[in-house]
Structure 1
Amino acid sequence: MGRLNTFPLSLKVQGRRIVIVGGGEEALNKARLAVKTTAQVVIVSPHLEADFSALPVEVLERRFQPSDLDNAAMVFVADHGPDASVAQDAARARNIPLNVVDVPGECDFFTPAIIDRAPLTIAISSEGRAPVLARLVRARIEAVLSPRLGNLASLAGGLRHRVESLIQDGAARRRFYQALVTSPEIERAEAAGHGHEAAESLLAAHVEAGSGAGVVWLIGAGPGSEDLLTLRAQRLLQDADVIVHDQLVPDVVVQMARRDAEQIAVGKAKGHHSFSQAQINTLLVRLASEGKRVARLKSGDPMVFGRAGEEIAALRKAGIAYQVVPGVSAALAAAADTATPVTLRKVSSGFIMATAHGAEDDELQHWALLAGAGMTLGLYMGKSIAGEVAARLVAHGASETLPVGIVVNAGRASRTLYSGTLGALAANQLDFADGPAVILVGEAVAEGDWAEAAQMAASSFKVA
């Protein structure tokens, strides 16, 4: 990762001037940005080409004078005429931060793309190298932030002294502020003009609760790509005091948590268990009993082969509050990676997710019957048992010609695809890559996009 050539900061301009030298469109663009502040905005130019009449600015229709920089917090030079060099020299002589529009080498600072939720602001800067990219990033962030976020920030600021006097514990104060700015009820009350009263009620509840009761969030991390996390998962990772995560959860996802959050790896890999399930259950109960907010981060969806049921049972027995946050399961990620419609009209009326590890013979017989009836199977298993399971399905009546698609590391950039038939897999004609694998079986699999898949021997299906 490269180092920044600029240091991001917020410059105080209250009670001071922002001077813009120039009268064209570039000057107007800077003026539109500057008037979002409480500074006095001054336009200086002998030639006004743009219309500044709609903005609360002072317009000096004349040549620039060094005295125009009296009490200036910053200067924009948006002109290429004779005044430009005079203004630059005057700004540098007074050590006033200077921005020369479209001349990065002459700039002391760059104008970022700004998300305005005053008093909250978010600035995205590319150090003048890629302003279009900065604007695109701003648009994406704008889409997920409430328009009333600034009002909530003002509400929090107005309560600061009372919160500090009533809640002594720093972690408890943080939890109050997080609840205040993320609560839909508080936002609705603020929109209706009752925000202060609602915030006071919330504060009273937090004071009464003391350091606060702990909670466990069972969060689905998805198949491994951080951009497949839900917005709720991202928010709770930022709220958590402790992250308890499995081995299959990539580090890039774990690092989306708050920097000061404790991280505990309880990885369970094939043939190696650093923590038993009973130990994990005890750990979750202990952490929450200490008043901590615990993010139990699981690969895929916590309710699909994640043993969340056992953890929930332990939390219920101990009287610990919990919440389940869904994630993208590997089977659904595999379907998405290959555009495979696991349910398809007149082809497949249902989708079965199952784990083949330790499957009994009657279970395999049941799956074979379902596959023969047109259902699509999503089987979670590794390559060590894939051939054996396929052979047992065939032995129980499943057709050898049933299309099969295998996705290893579904949902990740490193995914690997294979396609063929159940008979080819049963004959052990494929040695596929190591990693978590999902094997899709059924007629609907042939409708997916498997053009980039490696083929199982010569018996692969044709992509529709």
Structure 2
Amino acid sequence: MDYLPLFADLKQRPVLVVGGGEVAARKIRLLRQAGARVKIVSKTLTAELKDLQDEGKIQWIAQDFQAEQLDDIFLVIAATNNHALNTEIFEAAEQRQRLINVVDDQSKCSFIFPSIVDRSPVTIAISSAGHAPVLIRLLREKLEALLPQSLGEMAKIAGRWRPRIKKYFPKIKDRRRFWEKAFTGLFAHQVAKGQITEAEATLENQLENIENTKGEIILVGAGPGDADLLTLRGLQAIQEADVVLYDYLVSQSVLDMIRRDASRFCVGKRAGHHSVAQAETNQMLVSLALEGKRVVRLKGGDPFIFGRGGEELQAAKAAGIPFQVVPGITAASGAAAYAGIPLTHRDYSQSVVFITGHCRKDSDGLDWATLARSHQTLAIYMGTVKAAQISEQLIRYGRATDTPVAVIARAATPDQQVFIGRLDQLENLVQQALTPALLIIGEVAALHSHLAWFRHQSNREDQHSSVMNLA
């Protein structure tokens, strides 16, 4: 960390600005918004600064800089175009251990001005330590668009209510849950509409009608791998969770976005690794929620597509625990898109079928005759172990041996692999791939060579793409 982020209280503190031009004026605007007592040293002032001086809102104390002017100053800004003078100011400030910012000269700064998103009293500061100011500007623009203007008013109301809520809820966990409900519910909506009286009445009602201590379960789809593909609601859920139960299929980049103080339990299932039985996972979800915790069940892809999400919510329903579902981009859709393979295409495939290669032992199995039809795409989850059987059965029931196939491993991650070949080569392709992997069978798989885009432009070899002979 190049700089320690700090928020300084400048109210009625003396700040010296050396320089009276446009750059100095911009800095003074920020300083005045923060309540600083601004003193200026400059031979001349802009019209804006002259007006502030005439109105008594800033002090023009001298035309020439003297080191003694720093003796009663909290911090100093040098905003002149005189390099020698800036150096003199910097050295004098360093000698007196005053915080100093020399504009546009990072080597002579003991503090820097970050890019600011102002929703007072909520203030967000962003900095790249001077390395990438354009990137920071773009980030600030995104945050400006995302954060409602009502955020500051909501924070002010929360500040007024905080002592009362703290007295009512001795436990931090209960206070956090109260505010999370308020900030994501009707109260927030009313503040955004400017209905402040109604918003405070909503807080009062929420306080008088405290729900029971039972927690809730939120089923969240983490998407195929890339953390950028996690939905906004999914991100909010894992940031609000007390406990997160996650699968092996959830990428590390998504796990890194979980709130730091949330408890985490891996309950995934994978060949060769310790696996948690589904019944045990169901019981964990119920037990944790009954303790009053907000429990997130985080699953790769979408929780309702071969994710056993339905079974887990049935357990929650039986225990009388409230639940929510946050859908995610399912693995088949995400993996195919990142491999440049459209699941449907009017020239090649008029339908797509999602199937699992891992059925229950007591099930009737798959309808191979239907799956072997041409001009349809098969997206097969958990099919690597039975790749040989899948290939054999599809060919047996009429699918051409040269039908294009794709094995997409670790989709939407930096080490994504895409192997393209024929149906009769499927077993061999799977043996080359990392896990987890998804199988795509159908004419559309051949389009990978034309439509691959993920990391394609920077370095084709980085894609780990292998094409076997389709002839």
TM-score by length of 1: 0.88
CA offset digits 1:400-455 (Å, max 9, x no partner): 232222211111111111112223337x5763213022111222333342586312
Q: Separation in 2 of the partners of 1:31 and 1:416? A: 54
Is the 8 Å Cα contact of residues 112 and 124 (structure 1) preserved in structure 2?
A: yes
Q: CA deviation at 1:273?
A: 4.9
Cα distance in 2 between the residues matched to 1:22 and 1:286: 65
Q: Counterpart of 2:218 in 1: which secondary structure? A: strand
SS of match in other structure, 1:268:
coil
In structure 1, the partner of 2:194 is 193
Aligned CA distance change for structure 1 residues 191 and 54 (closer, same or farther; 3 Å): farther
Q: CA shift at 1:140, angstroms?
A: 3.2
- Post-superposition offset of 1:164: 1.3
Opposite residue 304 of structure 1, the aligned amino acid is I
The correspondence for 1:168, drawn from 167, 170, 174, is: 170
- Report the 3-state secondary structure (helix = DSSP H, G, I; strand = E; otherwise coil) of the residue aligned with 2:209: helix
| Mapped contact 1:26–1:78 kept (Cα < 8 A) | yes
Aligned to 1:148: 150
Rounded Cα–Cα distance in structure 2 between residues aligned with 1:429 and 1:219: 31
TM-superposed deviation, 1:295: 0.8
Summarize the Cα distance change of 1:385–1:85 in structure 2 as closer, same or farther, 3 Å threshold.
closer
Does the 8 Å contact 1:124/1:138 carry over to 2? yes
CA–CA distance in 2 between the matches of 1:153 and 1:328? 33
Q: Aligned residue for 1:242?
A: 243
**Equivalent residue in structure 1 for 2:111, among 109, 119, 127:** 109
The answer to whether 1:431 aligns with 2:442 is no
Q: Which deviates more, 143-152 or 213-222? A: 143-152
Q: 1:142 and 1:330 mapped to 2: Cα distance? A: 32
Rounded to whole Å, the distance in 2 between the matches of 1:304 and 1:109 is: 51
2:179 aligned residue (170, 177, 180): 177
Question: What are the Cα deviations for residues 170-226 of structure 1, in whole angstroms up to 9, with x where unaligned?
Answer: 11101122222233x323311333235324423542453266430001111122222
Separation in structure 1 between the aligned mates of residue 295 and residue 86 of structure 2, nearest angstrom: 57
Shift of 1:276: 0.9
Q: Using a 3 Å threshold, how does the CA distance of structure 1 residues 383 and 432 change in structure 2: closer, same or farther?
A: farther
What SS is found at the alignment partner of 1:328? coil
CA drift of 1:70 comes to: 7.3
Aligned equivalent of 1:23, options 2, 20, 24:
20
Q: CA deviation at 1:50?
A: 7.9
Within 1, Cα distance between the matches of 2:159 and 2:310? 41
> What does residue 210 of structure 2 align with?
209
Paired positions, count = 451
Counterpart contact for 1:176–1:203, Cα < 8 Å: no
In structure 2, runs of 5+ residues without a counterpart are 453-459
Q: Deviations over 1:244-276 (max 9, x none)?
A: 111222344223222221111212112555321
1:447 corresponds to: 447
Q: Choose which of 370, 373, 378 in structure 2 pairs with 1:366.
A: 370
Q: Deviation at 1:103?
A: 2.3
Give, in whole Å, the separation in 2 of the partners of 1:360 and 1:391: 18
Is the deviation greater in 39-48 or in 220-229? 39-48
Partner of 1:8: 5
The aligned counterpart of 2:296 is 295
Contact 2:405 2:422 in 1 (8 A): yes
Superposition pairs for residues 44-59 of structure 1, below 5 Å?
44-48=41-45, 52=49, 58=58
SS of the residue 1:404 aligns to: strand
Distance 1:231 1:352, change over 3 A: same
Cα deviations by residue, 1:15-71 (Å, 9 ceiling, x for unpaired):
223332113343233234334322234443213468557989637383345676576
In the alignment, the residues of structure 2 paired with residue 97 and residue 389 of structure 1 have an alpha-carbon distance, to the nearest angstrom, of 69
User: Residue 75 in 1 paired to residue 76 in 2?
Assistant: yes
- Residue 470 of structure 2 is matched in structure 1 by 459
**Structure 1 84/381 Cα, relative in aligned 2: closer, same or farther at 3 Å?**
closer
- Aligned partner of 1:396 in structure 2 is 397
| Matched letter for residue 225 of structure 1 | D
Measure the CA separation in 2 of the matches of 1:445 and 1:5: 47
Report the equivalent of 2:310. Answer: 309
Match of residue 455 from structure 2: none
Q: Aligned equivalents of 1:42 and 1:215: distance in 2?
A: 56
The Cα shift of 1:382 comes to 4.1
Q: Does the C-alpha gap of structure 1 residues 399 and 52 become closer, same or farther in structure 2, counting only changes over 3 Å? A: farther
The separation in 1 between residues aligned to 2:51 and 2:221, in whole angstroms, is 50
Q: Secondary structure at the match of 1:18?
A: strand
Deviation per residue, 1:273-294 (Å, 9 max, x gap): 5321111111111111111100
The answer to whether the Cα contact below 8 Å between 1:424 and 1:459 also exists between their aligned partners in 2 is: no
What residue number does 2:124 align with? 122
Q: 1: distance between equivalents of 2:148 and 2:51?
A: 27
Instruction: Out of 35-44 and 97-106, give the one that drifted further.
Output: 35-44
